[in-house]
Amino acid sequence: MQMERTHPHGGDRVAAALEAQGVTVVFTLCGGHISPILTASKARGIRVLDCRDEATAVFAADAHARLTGIPGVAAVTAGPGLTNTITALKNAELAQSPLVLIGGAAPTALQGRGALQDIDQRPLVAPHVKRFFKVRRVADLAPAVEEAFALARDGVPGPVCIECPVDLLYPEATIRQWYADAAGRGTSLADRALRWYLNRHVERMFAGSSQPATPRRQEVAPPLASDSAVAAAAAALARAERPLMVIGSQAVTLAGEAARTAEAVARLGVPVYLSGMARGLLGRDHPLQMRHARRNALRESDCVVLAGVPCDFRLDYGRHVRRGATLVAANRSAREARLNRRPTIAAIGDAGRFLQRLAAAAGAGARKDWIEALRSRDLAREAEIDAQAARRGELVNPLAFFRALDRAAGDDALMVADGGDFVSTASYVLRPRGPLAWLDPGVFGTLGVGAGFAIGAALARPGREVWIIFGDGACGYGLVEFDTFVRHGIPAIAVVGNDACWTQIAREQVKMLGDDVGVVLARTDYHRVAEGFGAAGIVVKKDDEVPAALAKAREIARAGKPVLVNVWLDKTDFREGSISM
């Protein structure tokens, strides 16, 4: 039973502020520095989901934010707990995912004096977040949370970090006694000076904390492109004979408006390529969605709309769009809208809202011949993939596997992509079922997102079928989280493309440098590792075993148990020459 207190401790204040923001889950790896936040969150009905790696907690918060539109929350302990999150934080920053990282810290009076896990955390974290809050008073904890949530959503979304020293979080009486014991009872001048200093320090820490505070949520309006930019883009589309759209993750930043944005794209009648979180925006088989030969289509188009997509390496730094084309760049970031290629029309604001307003202004166009030309090219590429998928070898053909998975996965399937060659192959074949049904790391290309993304997705979309597409290299980062899946009842289905190699690297390294050093793995029994954590494991070594294995995996997951399918892959040249720089 929780003891009654006259005033809430710092952990209570943080939890109350989180509750006010609509937070339903905190992802964490425990630590004494942050224990009051976790226990207070649980007491308020906020689920506390503990992972086995701090990076996983941040990845989970990232995925949860992408699917709900509410900044995800990860809480980690001081020092190595916080430094372990850096890669995941950077991934969220580059993917423009709004999340709040709460980091523990050494006691305020002992920072810089060799306390446990005490380092200067700001220089390490600040370059990867929108702001680093260094809280020094108990009364400032809740306002810092409120401001962090607003900032994470404002403008270009991204992560924010709040550093909460341990002596701001525990009950006031405990902390005052701790400082009194530290001051001692000596009578020397030095002893008395220390007591005076520590008493003054404690009074500063708790100043204002006796005043009642009502947590609040700051509303943040999405940035909107100017009316003139929308009108200019509508006029450009009306003139175009071969218009094309490329839509990226930023178009679904407002997760609750994804369906509305999809309707707008359909009304425009312009052929479209989808990438990142926008994959699946139009469902599985919409006639406007093109999947192959994007480079050729961009070079032929006379008007290209990039909605939340910068001209980075994925568009060959803008060179995929021909110079004579009208280029419309809709982006929350003015820098990204102009990256490597100055657009004809810059629509600086939320890309999803821009598409909705563009559809209202432009209406639908009739471009049957252009769409049919792109569609016939798509069908020809699909036929080539079918022919390659029909080849049989000693082990499983990855193309045939993904054809089978695409048929087997449920209509509500949510797919998480974590890997190199195996996942890139999947992107040619798998068809996300609808808006916000595909999760990949984003532009940073980070391996290791899979388990955390699956955890975040399962909690954001309870009851949905969650698949993780793991390369065998990538699964090594998150395999331990099968323990988390089991403990927390997350029935994820993981498929591991086991070709005993870091194939995306090996393919070019061996060809160009004649050496396979560092890229060779083993045909590891990943399914047995999952079984060791209490999950189910299935191994597949032949093409004809695949349908039954996938059906069994779905049956196990529907019964509430996570499962890993270890798929032994044949070598393939499907993505020969696909190295990116």
CB 446 within 8 A of CB 87: yes
Could you tell me which of 272, 437, 220 has the C-alpha nearest to residue 264? 272
Residue that has been written with the tokens 């399918």 in this structure = 565
Quick one: pLDDT at residue 4? Answer: 41
Q: Using alpha carbons only, how large is the chain's radius of gyration in Å?
A: 26
How many helices and strands in the chain, by DSSP H and E?
23, 17
Angle subtended by helix axes 450-460 and 54-68, to nearest 10: 40
Angle subtended by helix axes 398-408 and 546-558, to nearest 10: 40
Q: Domain spans of the chain?
A: 10-206, 227-369, 390-568
Strand partners, 299: none
Strand partners, 438: 415
Q: 394 CB contacts (<8 Å, ≥6 apart)?
A: 570
Tokens of 174: 């405990």
Q: 509 CB contacts (<8 Å, ≥6 apart)?
A: 515, 516, 519
Distance CA 366, CA 364 (A): 7
User: What's the burial of 283, exposed, middle or buried (CB within 10 Å: 0-12/13-18/19+)?
Assistant: middle
Topology agreement, domain 10-206 and domain 227-369: yes
Mark out the alpha helices in 301-391 (DSSP H runs): 334-337, 351-362, 368-389
Largest CA distance in the chain: 93
CA 72 centroid distance within chain: 10
Superfamily per CATH, domain 227-369 = TPP-binding domain (3.40.50.1220)
CB 484 within 8 A of CB 455: yes
* Count of CB atoms situated within 10 Å of the CB of 116: 12
Q: 115 CB contacts (<8 Å, ≥6 apart)?
A: 106, 107
Tokens of 390: 């029909």
Quick one: pLDDT at residue 425? Answer: 94
Q: What are phi and psi of 439, to 5 degrees?
A: -125, 120
Q: For the structural domain made of 390-568, what CATH number should be given?
A: 3.40.50.970
10-206 folds as: Rossmann fold (3.40.50)
Average pLDDT of adjacent 10-residue blocks, the chain of 581 residues: 58 96 97 96 98 98 97 97 97 97 89 81 96 96 97 98 95 89 84 86 89 86 97 96 96 96 96 96 94 95 97 92 96 96 97 97 83 96 95 95 97 96 93 95 94 98 97 96 98 97 89 92 97 98 97 98 97 69 54
Distance CA 78, CA 32 (A): 9
Q: What is the DSSP string of 424-462?
A: HHHHHH----STT-EE---TT--TT-HHHHHHHHHHHST
Going by the DSSP 8-state scheme, the letter that residue 155 receives in this structure is S
Residue that has been written with the tokens 């087997």 in this structure = 408
What's the Cα-to-Cα distance from 505 to each of 422, 428, 439, 502, 515, rounded to whole Å?
12, 19, 22, 6, 11
Quick one: pLDDT at residue 336? Answer: 96
Quick one: pLDDT at residue 5? Answer: 43
CB 564 within 8 A of CB 494: yes
